[in-house]
Amino acid sequence: MEIANQFLVRQAGPGDARDITRLLQKARFSHVHADWHPPVDWLGQPGFVVAEEGPAGFLPPYLAACLAITADPLPAAWVRVAAVHNNPGGDELLLSMLAPIIRHLQQQAVQEIGWLLPAGWPESWLVAMQFSRQNSIETYFKSDLSLPRGGLNPAVQVRPVQPADFPALVAIEAAAFAPLWRHSHSGLELGWRQSLCFHVAELAGRLVGFEYSVHSQAERAAHLVRITVDPAVQGLGVGSALLTAALEAYRRQGLRHVSLNTQVDNLSSQQLYAKFGFHPAGYRVPVWVRALQTADLA
C-alpha cells in the first residue's frame, strides 16, 4: 500500500529487525508493550507492518514508522510495538498501517484492541484511529514486607507451580478477567521463566488461583506481576494466601519493597492490596481501546 510522500506500508520481516530496533531508539514517538515478548518476536506476522519511505536520489529506503498489533490470547489484541519517527503526518502513517492490520485481526475474530498509551503521544492520533480512553493502570507500592494481622484460611494450600498446572491456570484467567486482560498459556510460561516466585493455590484439591512475581528495576525490590483468583472462591482467603506466600518469598531472597499494577476499576484487588499495606504510588497509564466491528472488514 502506497500513501502520500512515497511511503510504502508492508509487512515487517526478520530482515527489518535492525532497522526497527534503531527506529524504536531514535523515534520521537516510541512504544513497546509491557510483556515478555521483545519486538522481534512479532516479526513475520501479518499484524506487524512498517511504513517505508523511499527518498529521492540514490539513498535506500528507510523506516519512518512501525506498528504491531497481535492477539495473545484471542479474542483481544494489544498494540505491542509502535513508533513514528517524527510528528508531521504521524496520524496519517498510523492510519495507513492500521488498515491492513485490522483486516487481519478481523479474520482472526479479534473483538477489541487495547493500547497502553505512553506519555507524550498525541491523544488526537488515537481518536483518529477510533480508540477511546476506557480505563487506567495504576501502580501501587509497599515499602516493607510486613504481613497483616489475622490468620489465613487453613483449607487453602499454596505450593510452587508445576508445568502441568498451566492449562488450569489459563481456565482461571478466562473465568476471572475480560478478554483484554487475560494471559495466555505461552504468556504464563514465559512469565514463569522470568519469575522470582510463582505460586498456585489449591482448595479442596482443585487449583483456584495463582501469583507470580519478578525482580523490579528498583534496588532490592520485587514486582508482583499477577494475582488471579477463581471468581467461584473469592472471599475465601485465596488472594491473601497467595500474597502472603509472595511476600515471604521476597523476604527469603533479601528483598525489601514491592510494587504492582492494577486497573483503577478493579476494586476487589485494591481492597486486598490495602489490607496488606499497599498504597497508590501516584502513577497511572491510560488504557485506550478500539472495538472491532464487522464493518471494519470493508
Cα 63 from Cα 83, distance rounded (Å): 10
State residue 297's pLDDT score: 47
The answer to whether position 212 is within a domain reads: yes
Q: Which of 104, 130, 156 is the last residue of a domain?
A: 130
The answer to whether position 214 is within a domain reads: yes
52 and 86 both lie in a single domain: yes
State residue 135's pLDDT score: 97
149 and 275 both lie in a single domain: yes
Collapsing DSSP to helix, strand or coil, 81 comes out as strand
Q: Which residues fall within 8 angstroms of residue 231, CB to CB, at 6 or more apart?
A: 175, 176
State residue 57's pLDDT score: 47
Collapsing DSSP to helix, strand or coil, 18 comes out as helix
Task: Look up residue 286 and give its amino acid.
Answer: P
Cα 8 from Cα 24, distance rounded (Å): 19
118 and 153 both lie in a single domain: no
3-state percent helix, strand, coil for the chain, nearest multiple of 5: 35, 35, 30
94 and 148 both lie in a single domain: no
153 and 112 both lie in a single domain: no
146 and 213 both lie in a single domain: yes
The answer to whether position 295 is within a domain reads: no
Cell of 166: 498451566
The answer to whether position 172 is within a domain reads: yes
* Contact present, 29 and 83 (Cβ < 8 Å): yes
Cell of 69: 498489533
CATH number of the domain bearing residue 93? 3.40.630.30
Domain region containing 70 = 2-130
Cα 32 from Cα 42, distance rounded (Å): 12
Using a cut of 0.85, tell me whether the model's pTM lies above it.
yes
* Contact present, 79 and 114 (Cβ < 8 Å): yes
64 and 112 both lie in a single domain: yes
* Contact present, 228 and 210 (Cβ < 8 Å): yes
The answer to whether position 294 is within a domain reads: no
State residue 87's pLDDT score: 74
The answer to whether position 290 is within a domain reads: no
Cα 123 from Cα 213, distance rounded (Å): 32
Q: Which of 95, 130, 165 is the last residue of a domain?
A: 130
218 and 90 both lie in a single domain: no
Residue with cell 488515537: 126
Q: What b-and-e string marks burial along 167-179, b requiring 16 or more CB atoms within 10 Å of the CB?
A: eebbebbeebbeb
79 and 158 both lie in a single domain: no
pLDDT tens-digit series, residues 146-190: 999 999 999 999 999 999 999 999 999 999 999 999 999 999 999
The answer to whether position 298 is within a domain reads: no
* Domain count within the chain: 2
State residue 88's pLDDT score: 82
Number of other residues whose CB lies within 10 A of the CB of residue 144: 11
pLDDT tens-digit series, residues 206-230: 999 999 999 999 999 999 999 999 9
148 and 169 both lie in a single domain: yes
Under-70 pLDDT residues of the chain: 1-5, 54-60, 294-298
Residue with cell 495466555: 184
24 and 148 both lie in a single domain: no
88 and 106 both lie in a single domain: yes
DSSP one-letter code for 161 = -
The answer to whether position 149 is within a domain reads: yes
Question: In angstroms, what CA-CA distances link 11 with 42, 44, 74, 278?
Answer: 11, 7, 21, 44
Q: Which of 80, 106, 130 is the last residue of a domain?
A: 130
